[in-house]
Chains A and B, each alone.
Chain A
């Protein structure tokens, strides 16, 4: 019942906040959002799952009720968590609460609608990570689009209408492509499945039950479905060259929505890549490893270079997300214990770090009303706590030891260095170079804006941020340092336990990717 409780609480909260008067809704929304956060932390504390939810693992908090039947395909409300989804659910609830707190200052219009949509989105996000039935999962997956469309479209910047519709149509078309690809698999499986249950489908696919479809052989169906699903998810991640919606959406979105977008929504793409492409079709993943790894490395380098060329702080952080999500792709395609586990760990770590950086940019913008690097300098004098948090987030990005980013990138590199596909060490080496560029642009932009003599081109009084603005930053830093200090105890053990079955029962040293 825990999953239903979690989703139900978020939905109920959304309705309550939506009808509350504007002046009460910020505090009410924050208070309400603490309840799902507490529930998810409690679930994390008592989590007793083992193995992978799709591959016959021991699923925690599992519930299943019949919903629809279509011919021979049963659809059910099937929810449950394993070591991959549990940290992501906590991430979603944590970032929602913090993003709501970070909205108190910048959101001054139509508050109750804003906070209602944030809570609605939280419900959908929890559903995406918890659903174990394809149609259920797809319902939540699509439902996430709706609140984000409004959040960008109503409370966004100057070009918000363009950005909102671009985000909406772009990701919706990607969903259709993915949907068609997945149903190719379902029909190819023929009589070997009787439901749209993801575990059943994953296990049937891994047991080589896939048959041909029309003129296509089983192998061709699998390859085409893999490509279709990959394209659909690549838009969400985003992987270069499908990233063009992201800078628009990020720059125009209000800061709290950017936090959610970078922190959680992008993870939906990589989470789905792991659940669908890499869990269900390992052979195709191995066959297409080189092109995917190439795209991943291109995302890392190209995203970082694009970030280098920007003068808007938010754009810099947005493009650096493209770069960081490239590490997730690289880790997944490595297909080693540390690679896939590290990719999952990087999802969580990047969620926290990019959330922190976007929140910092938001706090700075709230008081300076500019995000252009040349318009300000020496902010450290006026708002020391915010600047400190920004520096901490930047070092997290660069992979400073004892921060989550270091552990995540280390795992990914260890995993991808020993991967099986040709040229893996070379790909890893090039990807590592991405960190140098990241360090370059982050240090440069911090030097320009945060340090040196104070100067501001805008007429606003630059003052220290309010307490409710800096609390989210500090909470995020605590989580980032904790994850970096105790990566195994807090998440990585849980993650590895769930990702190991994905890799099959092969040679253990190969799985470990060379390193013990």
Chain B
């Protein structure tokens, strides 16, 4: 369905921008406001509205055929809308949860407007039609994220995490932009379609190869994949837990949104294989990322760090979505499975980090032992956390089972069965560390000195909502799969 006027196609992004400006305006009129319900409410309603718009567009087929704006600089297609749905739902959950988490902290208007601006950046990353827009959007998503990580500015851990995140982010941004400049040198264009035409059979394969590798490196940072993954445990551990949820779910998905589009559209593998076989490179990255993430997660004593490494491991699974584009099998299933896994991950991982936020709110410590016996005090929240953990491990209590099945089956279908095998073995081993949380909560005897008398209502609601979405996605992912595969099919 075509939409008119054309610019209405970017409505999800516009709603996010408008919400951010409303928050700015509110803050300018009443700079010392402590009216938190209004601030959190604006952010939540804005994100929810953007989510609703993207969902309606997705179902109505606004992105089919793709709407191109500003001469192809912005592209709104099924994939862009699909990812915008992921970002906005994560943003809504995080805004909801932050109300309770940030109760006694100043500068709340800044927090929510930074959150919304980062979401705008992600939303643009998903519909970037050129390398330049992609880079600017990535910076727009990154800069507020640095500030958000360091938001608890009297907390050493938070500030340190922000610093590390910023330094590595700046480094990888420069790698990315240098890579883009090399690609531009070869192709003479920044528009993804034009790049694709120019790089096919180029006379400068060496320059192009280095350029593509560096671009890939920039994406590895945003998606927390090897070799630029080491910021993730630091940043996720130090950041306020809702921000960790936001970064590890939405920001990772944004990185993949951009990576999927750029790699598939600008560097079609049959065209650039003479310069660089990036599918092979991604295959290696995928195997290393999931294995390293899983093994590092298994050795952690701190739950938040365990989740951070598990997030690295999941980046490895999603990389299969690029690594299995071997030319055999159904490419749209491979790419679509990556998108579906990010959708499920958006709920189950956000939920898991928000549960940590809940635990921090209650003053529960950070290690597995500190979670001992929590189920006796807060059974409902612990049921939700159990759902997240088992779904992350790929047991069929949540959508994670189906999306992993899609990914691995897609890989086998594409002839890279060994990739699926590594993924399946990693997935089976991951049950070990995920079940440690479950074991601590339900089986161990309670530790003393934790007071779970207060029930932060919005934080609780966000955790439960994420759990319900995770469970519902087990049977309902079939409804989304058609949308995702259709959205991915456009590229092949």
Residues of A within 8 A of B (CB): 66-71, 73, 75, 110, 113, 135, 138-139, 142-143, 145-146, 149-150, 153-154, 160-161, 164-165, 168-169, 172-173, 176, 179-180, 183, 187
Which chain B residues border A164 with CB–CB below 8 Å? 439, 443
Which chain A residues border B432 with CB–CB below 8 Å? 169
Given contacts A143-B397, A146-B397, A161-B439, contact A68 B431 (CB under 8 A): no
Given contacts A142-B396, A168-B435, A173-B428, contact A71 B333 (CB under 8 A): yes
B165 to chain A, nearest CB (A): 35
**Most B C-beta atoms less than 10 A away, residue of A68, A138, A143:** A68
Give the contacts of B437-484 with A (CB-CB under 8 A): 439, 442-444, 474-475, 477-478, 481-482
Query: A187 and B481: CB pair below 8 A?
Result: no
Which chain A residues border B295 with CB–CB below 8 Å? none
Question: What residue in chain B is nearest A141 (Cβ atoms)?
Answer: B396
A401 and B421 alpha carbons, distance in the complex (Å): 50
Query: B475 and A154: CB pair below 8 A?
Result: no
- Is B280 close to A, CB under 8 A? no
Query: A68 and B478: CB pair below 8 A?
Result: yes
Given contacts A70-B410, A176-B425, contact A139 B481 (CB under 8 A): no
- Is B168 close to A, CB under 8 A? no
Question: What residue in chain A is nearest B329 (Cβ atoms)?
Answer: A71
Which chain B residues border A110 with CB–CB below 8 Å? 376
Query: A165 and B439: CB pair below 8 A?
Result: yes
A505 and B482 alpha carbons, distance in the complex (Å): 43
Which chain A residues border B396 with CB–CB below 8 Å? 138-139, 142-143
27 interchain pairs (CB within 8 A)?
A: A66-B478, A67-B475, A67-B478, A68-B402, A68-B478, A70-B405, A71-B329, A71-B409, A142-B396, A142-B401, A153-B442, A153-B443, A154-B442, A154-B443, A161-B439, A161-B443, A161-B444, A164-B439, A164-B443, A165-B435, A168-B435, A173-B428, A176-B424, A176-B425, A176-B428, A180-B421, A183-B409
- Is B395 close to A, CB under 8 A? yes
**Most A C-beta atoms less than 10 A away, residue of B333, B421, B439, B443:** B443
A168 and B436 alpha carbons, distance in the complex (Å): 12
B56 to chain A, nearest CB (A): 24
- Is B139 close to A, CB under 8 A? no
Query: B442 and A70: CB pair below 8 A?
Result: no
Partner of B428 from A67, A154, A172 at Cβ < 8 Å: A172
A71 and B412 alpha carbons, distance in the complex (Å): 12
- Is B390 close to A, CB under 8 A? yes
Which chain A residues border B482 with CB–CB below 8 Å? 69
B448 to chain A, nearest CB (A): 18
- Is B135 close to A, CB under 8 A? no
Which chain B residues border A176 with CB–CB below 8 Å? 424-425, 427-428
Residues of B within 8 A of A (CB): 329-330, 333, 376, 379, 390, 395-397, 401-402, 405-406, 409-410, 412-413, 421, 424-425, 427-428, 431-432, 435, 439, 442-444, 474-475, 477-478, 481-482
A244 to chain B, nearest CB (A): 18
Given contacts A146-B390, A165-B439, A187-B412, contact A70 B395 (CB under 8 A): no
Q: Which 7 residue pairs spanning A and B have beta carbons closest together?
A: A68-B478, A139-B396, A153-B443, A176-B428, A71-B330, A142-B396, A71-B333
B368 to chain A, nearest CB (A): 13
Which chain B residues border A150 with CB–CB below 8 Å? 442-443
Which chain A residues border B329 with CB–CB below 8 Å? 71
Question: What residue in chain B is nearest A155 (Cβ atoms)?
Answer: B443
Query: A146 and B395: CB pair below 8 A?
Result: yes
Question: What residue in chain A is nearest B393 (Cβ atoms)?
Answer: A172
Query: A70 and B439: CB pair below 8 A?
Result: no
Majority SS of interface residues in chain A? helix
A149 and B382 alpha carbons, distance in the complex (Å): 16
A210 and B309 alpha carbons, distance in the complex (Å): 41
Which chain A residues border B428 with CB–CB below 8 Å? 172-173, 176
B390 to chain A, nearest CB (A): 7
Query: A135 and B405: CB pair below 8 A?
Result: yes
Which chain A residues border B390 with CB–CB below 8 Å? 146
A172 and B390 alpha carbons, distance in the complex (Å): 12
Which chain A residues border B425 with CB–CB below 8 Å? 176
Which chain B residues border A113 with CB–CB below 8 Å? 379
Query: A70 and B333: CB pair below 8 A?
Result: yes
Query: A68 and B442: CB pair below 8 A?
Result: no
Which chain B residues border A135 with CB–CB below 8 Å? 405
A218 and B330 alpha carbons, distance in the complex (Å): 24
Given contacts A70-B406, A139-B396, A143-B396, contact A179 B435 (CB under 8 A): no
Which chain B residues border A183 with CB–CB below 8 Å? 409, 412
Question: What residue in chain B is nearest A110 (Cβ atoms)?
Answer: B376
B297 to chain A, nearest CB (A): 16
Given contacts A139-B396, A145-B395, contact A68 B435 (CB under 8 A): no
Query: B424 and A139: CB pair below 8 A?
Result: no
Which chain A residues border B409 with CB–CB below 8 Å? 70-71, 73, 183
A113 and B402 alpha carbons, distance in the complex (Å): 27
Which chain B residues border A143 with CB–CB below 8 Å? 395-397
A187 and B416 alpha carbons, distance in the complex (Å): 13
A154 and B442 alpha carbons, distance in the complex (Å): 7
A150 and B413 alpha carbons, distance in the complex (Å): 36
A184 to chain B, nearest CB (A): 9
Which chain A residues border B424 with CB–CB below 8 Å? 176, 179-180
Which chain B residues border A187 with CB–CB below 8 Å? 412
Which chain B residues border A154 with CB–CB below 8 Å? 442-443
Which chain A residues border B431 with CB–CB below 8 Å? 168-169, 172
Question: What residue in chain B is nearest A113 (Cβ atoms)?
Answer: B379
Given contacts A70-B333, A168-B435, A172-B428, contact A142 B395 (CB under 8 A): yes
Query: A160 and B443: CB pair below 8 A?
Result: yes
Which chain A residues border B439 with CB–CB below 8 Å? 153, 161, 164-165
A161 and B444 alpha carbons, distance in the complex (Å): 8
A326 to chain B, nearest CB (A): 28
Question: What residue in chain A is nearest B332 (Cβ atoms)?
Answer: A71
B462 to chain A, nearest CB (A): 21
B381 to chain A, nearest CB (A): 14
For the complex with contacts A68-B481, A110-B376, A176-B428, 18 further pairs of A-B residues with Cβ separation under 8 Å are A66-B478, A68-B478, A69-B478, A70-B405, A70-B481, A71-B329, A71-B410, A75-B478, A139-B474, A142-B401, A153-B439, A161-B439, A161-B444, A168-B435, A172-B428, A183-B409, A183-B412, A187-B412
Which chain B residues border A179 with CB–CB below 8 Å? 424
